[in-house]
């Protein structure tokens, strides 16, 4: 079976890391498959939200270090290989870059532990819903490496520099409750309710005008590197074409008629 699965239903794409026998540690083929399926879902006009989760008892326990150490040509999180020369890393199709760049909203359903690369993947999603049994393990420093897949950029923006420094420097495992208190996850639910809660949140997103939601995501990401004035002008340029869409007309009409809108993504 494929090590990464894609299922689309009711405008929601569910991408599942499917190597439960090794706690979904990331292999080279999984890196390629994950990037391909993320891009496929993002290009699908019927998909309005992506849920990323794992099969079995873990979300992702990091890179498959045994496989990486066995081969010098092993992938470094999709950023290159162990025998690459400096400056030869190809970042364009690495899953963290793809995940950050797609316009479709993403939800990480943390069904279990997320460590190393798996933690970076989770943080790279827009929203995180965690089972109460899930744990976040930022143990890079304990393995003699650093968060190579976005963690050094994402973590300080989520919790502030001082808290990010403590988390990263100590490498201490965080419980689901601690992660919620820190703001690293949006919701913590009983493990048995995780799939239903994530699906419900995805359905709420998918019920909205997809072109507008994608534009909102683009502008929120752009705001991370823009001034307030730049972002306001940028948003206005996004607003004009949205006001010419059928979805805008449907949204206004439904509001006036006091009914739920039915958006088509056009």
Between CA 188 and CA 247 the distance in angstroms is 33
Between CA 8 and CA 44 the distance in angstroms is 10
Between CA 45 and CA 211 the distance in angstroms is 10
What is the chain's alpha carbon radius of gyration, rounded to the nearest angstrom? 19
> Is the domain of 182 the same as that of 235?
no
Domain endpoint, select from 164, 188, 206: 206
Chain position carrying tokens 């879902």: 41
Number of domains in the chain: 2
- Each of the 266 residues of the chain gets a pLDDT tens digit; together they read 799 999 999 999 999 999 999 999 998 889 999 999 999 999 999 999 999 999 999 999 988 766 655 554 444 544 444 455 555 556 677 888 999 999 999 999 999 999 999 999 999 999 999 999 999 999 888 888 787 788 889 999 999 999 999 999 999 999 999 999 999 999 999 999 999 999 999 999 999 999 999 999 999 999 999 999 999 999 999 999 999 999 999 999 999 999 999 999 99
Between CA 6 and CA 12 the distance in angstroms is 10
pTM, to two decimals:
0.89
Q: Specify the pLDDT at position 73.
A: 47
Assigned domain for 261 exists: no
> Is the domain of 63 the same as that of 174?
yes
Assigned domain for 157 exists: yes
> Is the domain of 239 the same as that of 170?
no
Q: The domain containing residue 244 runs over which residues?
A: 210-256
> Is the domain of 88 the same as that of 135?
yes
Between CA 155 and CA 149 the distance in angstroms is 11
3-state secondary structure of 243: coil
Q: Specify the pLDDT at position 151.
A: 86
Q: Where are the alpha helices (DSSP H) in 102-226?
A: 117-124, 151-159, 161-170, 176-182, 194-206, 210-222
Q: What CATH number does residue 124 fall under? A: 3.90.226.10
Assigned domain for 265 exists: no
Q: Specify the pLDDT at position 121.
A: 95
Cα four-point dihedral sign 161, 153, 215, 219: positive
> Is the domain of 231 the same as that of 172?
no
Helix or strand (DSSP H, E) at 256: helix 246-256
Assigned domain for 266 exists: no
> Is the domain of 128 the same as that of 222?
no
Q: How many CB atoms lie within 10 A of CB 43?
A: 10
The DSSP annotation for 27-89 comes to PHHHHHHHHHHHHHHHH-TT--EEEEEESTTEEE--B-HHHHHH-TT-BSTTS-BTTPPTT--
Assigned domain for 60 exists: yes
> Is the domain of 246 the same as that of 180?
no
> Is the domain of 143 the same as that of 216?
no
> Is the domain of 49 the same as that of 181?
yes
Domain endpoint, select from 206, 223, 238: 206
Assigned domain for 263 exists: no
Assigned domain for 262 exists: no
Helix or strand (DSSP H, E) at 107: strand 106-110
> Is the domain of 168 the same as that of 235?
no
> Is the domain of 64 the same as that of 11?
yes
Assigned domain for 264 exists: no
Q: Do 96 and 120 touch, CB atoms closer than 8 A?
A: yes
> Is the domain of 216 the same as that of 199?
no
Kindly list the distances between the CA atom of residue 169 and the CA atoms of 62, 77, 108, 115, 185, in Å, as whole numbers in the listed order: 18, 21, 24, 15, 20
């Amino acid at each position: 079976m494929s090590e990464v699965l894609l299922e689309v239903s009711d405008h929601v794409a569910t991408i599942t890391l499917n190597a439960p026998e090794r706690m979904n540690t990331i292999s080279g083929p999984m890196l390629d498959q994950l990037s391909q399926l993320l891009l496929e879902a993002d290009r699908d006009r019927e998909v309005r939200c992506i849920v990323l989760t794992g099969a079995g008892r873990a979300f992702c326990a990091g890179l498959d270090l045994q496989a990486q150490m066995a081969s010098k040509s092993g992938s470094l999180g999709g950023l290159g290989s162990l025998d690459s020369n400096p400056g030869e890393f190809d970042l364009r199709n690495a899953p963290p870059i793809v995940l950050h760049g797609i316009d479709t909203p993403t939800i990480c359903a943390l069904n279990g532990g997320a460590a190393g690369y798996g933690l970076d993947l989770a943080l790279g999603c827009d929203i995180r819903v965690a089972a109460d049994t899930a744990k976040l393990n930022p143990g890079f420093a304990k393995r003699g490496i650093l968060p190579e897949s976005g963690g050094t950029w994402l973590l300080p923006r989520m919790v502030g520099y001082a808290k990010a420094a403590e988390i990263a420097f100590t490498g201490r495992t965080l419980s689901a409750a601690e992660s919620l208190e820190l703001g690293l996850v949006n919701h913590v639910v009983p493990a048995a309710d995780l799939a239903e809660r994530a699906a419900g949140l995805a359905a709420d997103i998918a019920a909205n005008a997809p072109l507008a939601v994608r534009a909102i995501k683009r502008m929120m990401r752009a705001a991370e590197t823009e001034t307030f004035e730049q972002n306001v002008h940028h948003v206005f340029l996004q607003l004009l074409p949205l006001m010419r869409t059928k979805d805008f007309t449907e949204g206004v009409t439904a509001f006036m008629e006091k009914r739920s809108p039915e958006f088509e993504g056009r």
